[in-house]
Amino acid sequence: MKTIAVLLSGCGVFDGTEIHESVLTLLALAKAGVNYQCFAPNIEQMHVVNHLSGEVTANETRNVLVESARVARGEVLNVTELDVSQFDALIVPGGFGAAKNLSNFATNGSDCQVSPDVETFLCEFALAAKPVGYMCIAPMMLPRVYQNIQATIGNDTETAHAFNEMGGNHCEASVADIVVDEANKVVTTPAYMLATNIAEANIGIEKLVNKVLEMTV
């Protein structure tokens, strides 16, 4: 049976993993009859956001691995524990955690870097030439992992420009679309970069999951 790695970045759209995107990903994988294992880095979040008010909570800290355990129902491993030979593919849901915790794109834009342990984790899949799927804002990490990468974050002009500045080739897409880079075995979809509700987000996410699984051998 195939086993898929899922990289989380905390718990909550504004400071961690987008919960709908992560749950829809896990649901699609379970419906496809494959195993999955969640991972997250053992690092502090950039900051903590009160999701009721939308404001940053001063003087509060949270750990990305601990918060990701909320989404994974406790079944989550540190990214440093990866044995890539045990996995057929990787999927990375979005949420601002991808731009704040997994990388510093939120603050550094096209000059961003990926968190060291996360970069090592992502590069393991690239070096092994295994299929991957990134959604929402998570594709902004791709130019730091792949050469000549083709991907989408939707149609936001400023973000697309930053992606291209980083050396990527951005493709505009609608919420229901996936963009497939066959050479790099990378699949992307806008998800909540464009979705206005969970049903819309699910269309592209299901397509992404199914395409990633189709590309595994």
The kind and range of the H/E element at 35 are strand 35-40
Q: Which residue has the tokens 């990490």?
A: 141
Query: Is 188 in contact with 159 (CB distance < 8 Å)?
Result: no
Query: Is 118 in contact with 136 (CB distance < 8 Å)?
Result: no
DSSP labels, 74-101: T-EEEGGG--GGG-SEEEE--STHHHHT
Indicate if 136 belongs to the active site.
yes
Q: Which residue among 11, 38, 112, 136 is the active-site one?
A: 136
CA dist list (Å): 115 to 40, 43, 65, 99, 103: 11, 9, 14, 10, 5
Secondary structure of residue 7 in the 3-state scheme: strand
Distance CA 141, CA 146 (A): 9
- Which of 68, 19, 24 shows the shortest CA–CA distance to 201? 24
Secondary structure of residue 3 in the 3-state scheme: strand
Q: Which residues are catalytic?
A: 136
